[in-house]
């Protein structure tokens, strides 16, 4: 939570710092492609049910994220989000060590931009993701398996345009992500919702 608050505070300071003149903006909306690089905090909000009592746990992870967007018109775009994060996994109560796992959830969202002609341009989005689990360390167990699968995502953010190409960006996503977990070949099973908040701050380039 402290990481999230720090990212939000930095973002607010950046967005409040000055305003580019309209003459500096040029024909920003004539450029259809956009790249962003963000630092994101992936914070799972886990819940679970399983063959033993308790709840799965997953720690948060701060990682870089790359996304690419295509604008069909001034207001509507599609964004492909690419990032991977590592999470330490466990089970409480009892402090069971389930090792760690890498998560790759490429996510495609459709976005609506409310004020594309302004320097401050908020947007919302919704879409789908397919999550891959890889490089699993089973911790104290002989094996831990996570099932890949589809999920969906909701998104809200804002671009602060610096000139015709460059912008600052703040973005919040809620990714609904479920997996079936099998420990020691199915000796222990669990249905786990990770459902992370993904909060990011970054810079973008429109071309």
Q: Are strands 120-137 and 107-113 parallel, antiparallel or unpaired?
A: antiparallel
Which domain CATH number covers 75?
Answer: 2.40.160.20
| 23 domain-assigned | no
CA 3 centroid distance within chain: 14
What would the pLDDT profile of 155-207 be if each residue is shown by its tens digit?
999 999 999 999 999 999 999 999 999 999 988 899 999 999 999 999 999 99
Q: Is 199 inside a domain boundary?
A: yes
In a domain, 24, yes or no: no
Query: Is 174 within 8 Å of 157 (Cβ atoms)?
Result: no
- Kindly state the average pLDDT of the residues 102-111: 98
Is position 21 within any domain?
no
Note if the pTM is more than 0.95: no
pLDDT in tens, 12-40: 454 445 444 444 455 566 789 999 999 99
Whether 26 is in a domain gets the answer no
Average pLDDT of the chain, as a whole number: 89
Say what the pLDDT of residue 27 is: 59
Considering its fold, how many domains does the chain have in total?
Answer: 1
Nearest to 82 by CA among 109, 110, 107: 107
Of the candidates 82, 101, 80, the one whose C-alpha atom is nearest the C-alpha of residue 90 is 101
For residues 47-60, average pLDDT: 90
Structural domain boundaries enclosing 171: 2-16+34-206
Would residue 156 count as lying in a domain?
Answer: yes
Region label for 115, one of left (φ > 0), alpha (ψ between -120 and 50) or beta (otherwise): beta
């Amino acid at each position: 939570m402290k990481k999230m608050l720090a990212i939000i505070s930095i973002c607010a300071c950046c967005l409040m710092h000055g305003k580019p003149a309209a003459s500096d903006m040029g024909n920003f909306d004539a450029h259809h492609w956009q790249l962003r690089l963000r630092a994101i905090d992936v914070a799972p909000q886990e819940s679970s049910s399983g063959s033993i009592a308790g709840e799965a746990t997953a720690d948060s992870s701060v990682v870089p994220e790359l996304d690419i967007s295509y604008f069909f018109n001034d207001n509507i775009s599609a964004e492909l989000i690419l990032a991977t994060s590592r999470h330490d996994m466990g089970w409480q109560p009892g402090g069971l060590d389930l090792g760690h796992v890498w998560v790759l959830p490429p996510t495609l969202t459709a976005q609506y931009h409310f004020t594309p002609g302004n320097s401050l341009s908020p947007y919302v989005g919704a879409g789908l993701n397919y999550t891959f689990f890889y490089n699993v360390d089973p911790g104290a167990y002989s094996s831990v398996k996570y099932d890949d699968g589809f999920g969906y995502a909701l998104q809200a953010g804002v671009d602060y345009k610096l000139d015709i190409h460059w912008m600052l960006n703040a973005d919040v996503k809620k990714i609904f992500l479920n997996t079936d977990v099998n420990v020691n070949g199915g000796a222990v099973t669990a249905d786990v919702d990770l459902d992370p908040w993904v909060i990011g701050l970054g810079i973008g380039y429109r071309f």
